[in-house]
Amino acid sequence: MVGAILLAAGSGSRMHGEVADKLLHPIGNSNAFILSCQSFLQVDTVRCLVIVYKDESQLVRLKECLSPAISAYPHRKSTDILWVQGGAERQDSVWAGIHAFPNEITHILVHDCARPFIQAKTIAQAVTEIIQDRAVCVARRLKDTIRLRVEPINEPLLPTTTRTLDRTNLWLMETPQGAPIAWLREGLERARKDGIVLTDDMAAVECLGHPVGMLEPDYPNPKITTPDDFSYAEFLIHS
């Protein structure tokens, strides 16, 4: 059976205090948290959702927000949704989410609720891949040129040695990302023991030497990170 971890425990530090909780901030008549949950609730092959929250105050607001939305999916049971408190780092939150699943969950997707425009069709595609014991992530081919600053300098305008990277095989990582739950559990455990900080879920799978497939959507799947991102989100929701 397939489960999904929906991450809502981020600090939102790059909002610089302009938005109290970016996941609950209005986008049209909804918000990033609800839009993310609705997409996963539409996919029947995702049998269980684990929502990772930040603190008790946020938990109350998330539950209040989600309750009326669930009524649109009468086939869903309350036992389909589990709640667990996250940790200091992303990988700590994923770790907590993994251990909240019932034993029958064998494959999982991990999604950042700050990407509210993920569509159910993409989630279903990802499920089809991971149940074949594959690792897969939603990702996008890089269009821009990337230049590496070989000599790290704090002041961007100061000239320094740089190197242009070949963008042919460079991809921008998005979510959801998924794999057999055993792979993610083992990879995260190895990272914890080695003191490695992971910012991407597939990095845990790569720790074990497993290959990762890329699933490129044909629509925007942006992440809300700064206050300016809400303008783009409003544009997308009304498009």
Question: What was the pLDDT predicted at 116?
Answer: 97
74 and 29 in contact (C-beta within 8 Å)?
no
Q: Tell me the β-bridge partners of 27.
A: 30
- Whether pLDDT at 169 is above 70: yes
100 and 80 in contact (C-beta within 8 Å)?
no
Question: What was the pLDDT predicted at 14?
Answer: 65
pLDDT band at 153 (very low <50, low <70, confident <90, very high): confident
Residues 6+ apart with CB under 8 A from 24: 31, 32, 33, 61, 62, 65
Residues 6+ apart with CB under 8 A from 104: 1
Counting every residue written for the chain, the total comes to 239
Instruction: Tell me the CATH number of domain 2-237, given options 3.40.720.10, 3.30.1540.10, 3.90.550.10, 3.20.20.70.
Output: 3.90.550.10
Question: What was the pLDDT predicted at 209?
Answer: 94
pLDDT greater at residue 1 or residue 156? 1
- Whether pLDDT at 12 is above 70: no
The pLDDT of 193-198, averaged and rounded, is: 89
